[in-house]
Amino acid sequence: MILELDWIKKINFYTKNGIQFLFIIDYEMEFPIVLKLSELNGFCIKYFIDGVKNYDDNISNIFDKKELNIQKHPISLEVYKKAFDNIIENQKSGNSYLLNLTFKTPVEINFSLEEIFYKSLSRYKLYFKNEENEFVLFSPETFINITEGRIFTYPIKGTIDANISGAEEILLNDKKEKAEHLTVVDLLRNDLSIVSKDVRVNRFCFTCKIKTNFGELLQMTSEIEGKVKPDLMYRFGDILFNMLPAGSICGAPKKQTLEIIKETELDKRGYYTGVFGIYDGKNLKSSVMIRFIEKKGDDCFYRSGGGITVYSDAEKEYNEMVEKIYVPIY
């Protein structure tokens, strides 16, 4: 475990001196990991970050060729609805406008987590294993990218089955989904304004397709940009600390919503919905740690969830949480 101020100072030092490093920061920011890329050989960490990787693609050929099979054992709708109702009550009282509710689902998978890492197709992937933790993730969502003094973020909020007739039009005109996306864009604009100036939304509410083992999902995203404040140009540790937890996986207003999440969810999130990324000596790329499977003993758990607003329907949100349990192997 790295003490809170230590990981911030370490990242600031590395960025100031052009030292390449990898970071993995858990949701609660209790067990952050910051390692020079030159130190990674002694750790069981594999990553793919928007094309940058530390492994040989041919390794995937050593695994047996078999069809992926996932058995899901989600919590009951009744248990979900109890948490959902607590959130809606808080939202009606004005304590929160958007809250990302998550649960872990026991799953049976005929692939190891390492196999899933090598065979899944995603813009961001991470496999991590030590004495306390083993997890894999295959995230479609960028957290922040910093290049040449500019910072970008791309929140994803709003999901629909792409196979539905007219899916894009339905998604873009859905009152609940649009309100959810607008809220998180506003939240991320505010978060960026803490660490940058001249913040603007370059593209608002455009869709992208995500392939899964059972078909395609359509998701809504936006691009937000700012100019890094001069005093933070080489203090990326401070930038990360001021923007965490990622707005898209908590909600708004952030402070009150974090407290409601803490009292409502059944488990601590750990590394799920934290962030990971890489600094190449000049630029930083990072992702939100969603689409996440962890192993505890002999059991595997898939972490998933979705944004709740006063327009939400409990059964629909529950079904979305279950539908997000997928692996992009196809």
pLDDT tens digit sequence for 83-107: 999 999 999 999 999 999 999 999 9
CB count within 10 Å of CB 96 equals 26
C-alpha to C-alpha distance for 303 and 104, rounded to whole angstroms: 4
Domains in the chain, start-ordered, CATH in brackets? 4-75+105-249+271-323 (3.60.120.10)
Mean pLDDT of 242-267: 94
Task: Name the CA radius of gyration of the chain, rounded.
Answer: 19
> What is d(CA 227, CA 220) in angstroms, rounded to the nearest whole number?
24
Confidence of residue 178 (pLDDT cuts 50, 70, 90): confident
Q: How far apart are CA 86 and CA 264, in angstroms?
A: 7
Secondary structure class of 80 (helix, strand, coil): helix
Cβ proximity of 307 and 169 under 8 Å: no
For 23, 184, 276, the CA distances from 29, given in Å and listed in that order, are 12, 21, 12
Contacts 24+ apart (CB under 8 A), 87-94: 87/260, 87/264, 87/308, 88/308, 88/310, 88/312, 90/260, 91/308, 91/309, 91/310, 92/310
Q: For the whole model, what pTM was predicted?
A: 0.92
Decide if pLDDT at 287 tops 80: yes
Q: What distance lies between CA 109 and its chain's CA centroid?
A: 21
Rounded distance, CA 25 to CA 271, Å? 7
% of the chain surpassing 90 pLDDT: 78
- Paired with 220 in beta bridges are 207
C-alpha–C-alpha distance, residues 70 and 59, integer Å: 23
Angle formed by the axes of helices 4-16 and 236-243, to 10°? 140
Average pLDDT, the chain: 92
- Could you tell me which residue, 238 or 183, shows the higher pLDDT? 238
State residue 52's pLDDT score: 96
Q: Look at residue 168 in the predicted model and tell me its pLDDT.
A: 80
Q: How many degrees, rounded to 5, is the angle at CA 254 between CA 248 and CA 257? A: 95
Q: Is residue 157 within 8 Å of 180, Cβ to Cβ?
A: yes
Look at the alpha carbons of 135, 320, 307, 74 in this order and tell me if their dihedral is positive or negative. negative
215 vs 96, higher pLDDT: 96
Average of per-residue pLDDT across 109-135 = 95
Strands (E), the chain: 21-25, 33-36, 44-49, 52-53, 70-72, 98-109, 124-129, 134-139, 142-147, 150-153, 156-161, 196-212, 215-228, 251-252, 275-279, 284-288, 292-296, 299-308
Residue 1 has a pLDDT of 46
Greater model confidence, 324 or 210: 324
Q: Report pLDDT for 4.
A: 57
pLDDT at 3 over 70: no
Residue 150's contacts (CB-CB under 8 Å, 6 or more residues apart) are 225, 226, 227, 228
